[in-house]
Structure 1
């Protein structure tokens, strides 16, 4: 977990430079939108900015000391004037925003300052978003809002216009793979994991997880049986896939692993073997690549991406996968 200024500066130097300048010039905005992929440090940056705002003895005037009572309480998630709102189930509801507004109508417990963070702000219901909009239109003095999202396009334009947007950049997969190997992840596995997450801690956890190792085998097996009968593919779904990929996030990861197989096949067909990520399966992938055209592989990738979209739209996972398997077989030249 990234906690210190130095930690985050290595990942997001542009963001940290902006923080530094804004703090030193006393020009912090009243509302920010942190947008970027999962694992790019948005939440850690929110906590860091909160510590900079509340720190009793900031280093050089802008870096939190990490030692005062305010820094420690923010790190422990129990500062009375720092509030975090997260989805209640699938969404952030109007009552949660109203509760936040009521809390902020009171005077700060220990100073005039108050700060709130809304994690996955794109998951606010329309009523919650409209309540927040009123809050942003009439900000309380000394109040700061930090909204975080991986999908800025799903946030109301009227909310976006009232926030200063800060974009969090991802590490390139190559840089990510380098960092992983430096942290003890096998060079054979690092390129694959680097395509799945930009979060070092999460990536290392994947590399040490038996569930993840098994997931790769199940995905490869499913792709292999697609060349046989539809019945065999459906049996593989029931016997292996659904028993392993039970949660929505697990299924999403399974689809990502399936998508990476198709990408590897395309790289092989284009003569770019150096870019494949299933390094342990190169021989099998070369056989798969001979059995489909580039057009067919591209169609398979489109079908998998569409399945991911349907998953996020809460389509029934079993129906989704059955439709995907049939679609992948239709677009295949396997016999």
Structure 2
């Protein structure tokens, strides 16, 4: 199920407002560059724009009906006048752009209008970029180009100058939570995912990743053992953590999850219970927050940030975790 204009407008209001105005005034540019982080809706909005351009029953001058033949075929990726170019392997090759040019030299199959979408435009080889440049320099009035990129600095200036650049902003945590819950993510999981990433696609992948599901349980279990003696916590590391967390990026994700627990403690101390993301562990965290001084909690959060920095500095991950556990336990003080 594709997202509607209203849903996408909530996540990228500035981009959608500009496209809405251009559609209503029939002043679409001949070439757009959609730039922004992965997961900000660039591909979804390019498909939405394609439907708005070719829809047979356009609503209010800009909203595709989603039910006509053109809308359905675009949604299923088989409209003859919409062409999408993806990298072959690591790059977009010259022959791909040349094939596109040959295709667009023909008359539109269904209508006069045609559109092409170049995904990961920053991955074009120099020859491919130069071929595309010639294409952009001689625009057909009925042709619309959309280039998508996460690395705008990699796009050659001559192509940039021939495109209208629309910048896609990262989703705010609250908007991301809304989007995830629309997709069926549970209300006790969506806030956690939105704190770990502002990338919608990554959040969806994490939600169904069995490794990540298990990682959350191990982190909460480790947190619970930190209230006991240091030997118990070190045993927990050996028994659970070191078996599950093996790669550097996995350690980093584990530290992020641990950090979220301590941030929740801070929110509880500040009276901001509505901001906590570990909803299922709320009672456990409230009891812990009562026993900790604000100063001690700040020290613990700082220790996790320091561990993340050391991890990037290539410190031995197992030694790092053992040191962190001892620091999180030492000198626990009462309010």
Q: TM-score, normalised by structure 2?
A: 0.71
> For residues 102 and 146 of structure 1, what CA distance do their matches in structure 2 show?
17
Which 10-residue stretch deviates more, 258-267 or 122-131? 258-267
Alpha carbons 1:38, 1:197 under 8 Å: kept: no
The residue that corresponds to 1:298 in the other structure is: 305
> For residues 32 and 320 of structure 2, what CA distance do their matches in structure 1 show?
42
> For residues 253 and 84 of structure 1, what CA distance do their matches in structure 2 show?
34
Provide structure 2 residue ranges, at least 5 long, that are not aligned to the other structure: 331-335
> For residues 52 and 299 of structure 2, what CA distance do their matches in structure 1 show?
55
- Verify: 1:240 aligned to 2:244, yes or no: yes
The residue that corresponds to 1:128 in the other structure is: 128
Alpha carbons 2:11, 2:175 under 8 Å: kept: no
Aligned pair in 2 of structure 1 residues 198, 299: CA closer, same or farther (>3 Å)? Answer: closer
- Verify: 1:102 aligned to 2:99, yes or no: no
SS at match of 2:245: helix
Alpha carbons 2:251, 2:317 under 8 Å: kept: no
The residue that corresponds to 1:314 in the other structure is: none
The residue that corresponds to 2:256 in the other structure is: 259
> For residues 148 and 89 of structure 1, what CA distance do their matches in structure 2 show?
17
User: What does residue range 1-335 of structure 1 map to in structure 2 within 5 Å?
Assistant: 1-177=1-177, 180=180, 185-196=185-196, 203=203, 206-207=206-207, 210-217=210-217, 239-242=243-246, 255-256=252-253, 258-262=255-259, 265=262, 277-278=277-278, 296-302=303-309, 334=327
Q: CA deviation at 1:145?
A: 0.8
Larger radius of gyration: 2
Which 10-residue stretch deviates more, 35-44 or 183-192? 183-192
Q: CA deviation at 1:25?
A: 1.5
Aligned pair in 2 of structure 1 residues 110, 133: CA closer, same or farther (>3 Å)? Answer: same
Q: How many equivalent pairs are there?
A: 314
SS at match of 1:261: helix
SS at match of 1:195: helix
Aligned pair in 2 of structure 1 residues 212, 111: CA closer, same or farther (>3 Å)? Answer: same
SS at match of 2:148: strand
SS at match of 1:144: strand
Q: CA deviation at 1:66?
A: 2.5
Q: CA deviation at 1:33?
A: 1.5
Aligned pair in 2 of structure 1 residues 265, 158: CA closer, same or farther (>3 Å)? Answer: farther
SS at match of 2:146: strand
Aligned pair in 2 of structure 1 residues 209, 293: CA closer, same or farther (>3 Å)? Answer: closer
SS at match of 2:213: helix
> For residues 59 and 170 of structure 1, what CA distance do their matches in structure 2 show?
28
> For residues 75 and 50 of structure 2, what CA distance do their matches in structure 1 show?
10
Aligned pair in 2 of structure 1 residues 93, 16: CA closer, same or farther (>3 Å)? Answer: same
Q: CA deviation at 1:49?
A: 1.0
The residue that corresponds to 1:248 in the other structure is: none
Aligned pair in 2 of structure 1 residues 8, 131: CA closer, same or farther (>3 Å)? Answer: same
> For residues 97 and 234 of structure 1, what CA distance do their matches in structure 2 show?
54
Q: Deviations over 1:181-226 (max 9, x none)?
A: 677644432221123455778756754654431133466789999x
Q: CA deviation at 1:235?
A: 9.8
Q: CA deviation at 1:22?
A: 0.7
> For residues 330 and 33 of structure 1, what CA distance do their matches in structure 2 show?
47
Aligned pair in 2 of structure 1 residues 265, 122: CA closer, same or farther (>3 Å)? Answer: farther
